[in-house]
Amino acid sequence: MPLKPTIGVTYRDDGRGKAHQSDLALVRQANPTATVVSVRRPTDVKHLDALFVPGGPHDHPDAVASHNDPVNTHARGRGAPRRPGGADRTAEVNARHTMESTSINSALDRNMPVLAVCGGSWRLASCLGGQVRALSEQSAHLHAGSMQAVTQHRHDVTVGGDTKLAQILRSPKGSDPFAKPPTKGAAADIPMSVNSVHWESSHFAGQATPVQITAKGPDGSDGEWRAPTHPGADTVVEAYASTNHHYVHGIQWHPEYAMNHQLDGTPSGLTELDATQPEIVEGSQEKSGRIMSSLGDAALTSKAARIIQRNFRNRKTKQIIAQKAATRRGNR
């Protein structure tokens, strides 16, 4: 009987729970052979083989001001959201932050596969020792599309050729992308177009954080929208991976939405990359789908490894019991 891994999706009550139901459906679509369940408390993590942490419309509570725009502490986010009728939801938002952060740390302690997107990637970054910063007003304008049209605001990113994320994009669906060591050396960078609805970003520079920056996007704070590979371009961290874990990824865009839609909306800025290389846009839907399905592949590997470890421990325990029994018989 084939193994069936369990992927947990942290609960969020955006849209009175409708957003969470959408998260569950999208993770199931990308991983049809997995069991996908809700995570409503950190203790649920111990029953999982992998964890998916979604985004949401709220600021990270510990975000700091942009280095390019120190006045603009929160360029777009909703620090104290309200329900219709004026009810303050700050306590609920903070409770979600605490629950997800604790769940992430529990998963990290178990070396469990984690895929965190958009706002979820900010929480993961904090758990790994990083920092979350507000984008400058100009940069946020270029990165933060409408949450009601999450596939209509796009820009290009560059995935480093020798990174863990590139390893995923090069691996076929249904295979563990890290069955072999990540590619080293002169592997070509992978450009792709992504949907963009974020106003904050993760930062790791200057900190002893065990992460690899796997994708970068243009910053645009100077009003210019240069490709991430341009020599004079400031960049925004668009994806990263823990180097201390088998599979722990933070993705700033929304691959769960992008995997179902051709990103044919108006680009965030007029770039030479967009104008001359339409194949970047055309292949991005498939790439986002591969990112989502890789979580199930990693979950399957994780489950198989845990079964092997458990069987080994059981055999070892039986051997110890048998040895003790033999010793007792010998002493009679």
Domain limits at 67? 6-330
The per-residue pLDDT for 268 is 41
Residue 151 domain flag: yes
Residue 167 domain flag: yes
Residue 125 domain flag: yes
CATH code of 151's domain:
3.40.50.880
Q: Hunting for tokens 């863990």 — which residue is that?
A: 164
pLDDT by residue for the chain (332 residues), tens digit each? 578 999 999 998 876 778 899 899 999 999 999 999 999 999 999 999 999 999 876 666 565 544 444 444 443 444 444 344 445 667 877 888 899 999 999 999 999 999 999 889 999 999 998 888 877 666 665 655 555 555 566 777 889 998 999 999 988 887 777 766 666 666 888 988 888 776 687 888 765 668 999 998 876 444 444 444 444 445 788 999 998 998 999 998 888 887 876 655 444 443 433 443 555 556 778 888 899 999 999 999 888 776 665 555 556 565 666 666 666 666 66
The per-residue pLDDT for 318 is 58
Q: Hunting for tokens 């110890």 — which residue is that?
A: 320
Question: Could you give the number of structural domains in the chain?
Answer: 1
CA distance 207 to 86: 40
Q: Hunting for tokens 């490894």 — which residue is that?
A: 305
Q: Which residues pair with 286 in a beta bridge?
A: none
The per-residue pLDDT for 225 is 41
Residue 249, Cα to own-chain centre: how many angstroms? Answer: 5
The closest of 298, 206, 297, 215 to 251, measured between CA atoms, is 215
- pTM, 2 dp: 0.79
For the chain, the distance separating the N- and C-terminal CA atoms, rounded to the nearest angstrom, is 46
Q: Rg (Cα) of the chain, in Å, rounded?
A: 22
Mapping DSSP onto H, E and C, the string for the chain reads CCCCCEEEEECCCCCCCHHHHHHHHHHHHHCCCCEEEEECCHHHHHHCCEEEECCCCCCCCCCECCCCCCCCCCCCCCCCCECCCCCECHHHHHHHHHHHHHHHHHHHHCCCCEEEECHHHHHHHHHCCCEEEECCHHHHHHHECCCCCCCCCEEEEEECCCCHHHHHHHCCCCCCCCCCCCCCCCCCCEEEEEECECCEEEECCCCCCCEEEEEEEECCCCCCCCCCCCCCCCEEEEEEEECCCCCEEEECCCHHHHCCCCCCCCECCCCHHHHHCHHHHHCHHHHHHHHHHHHHHHHHHHHHHHHHHHHHHHHHHHHHHHHHHHHHHHCC
Residue 1 domain flag: no
Residue 13 domain flag: yes
Residue 228 domain flag: yes
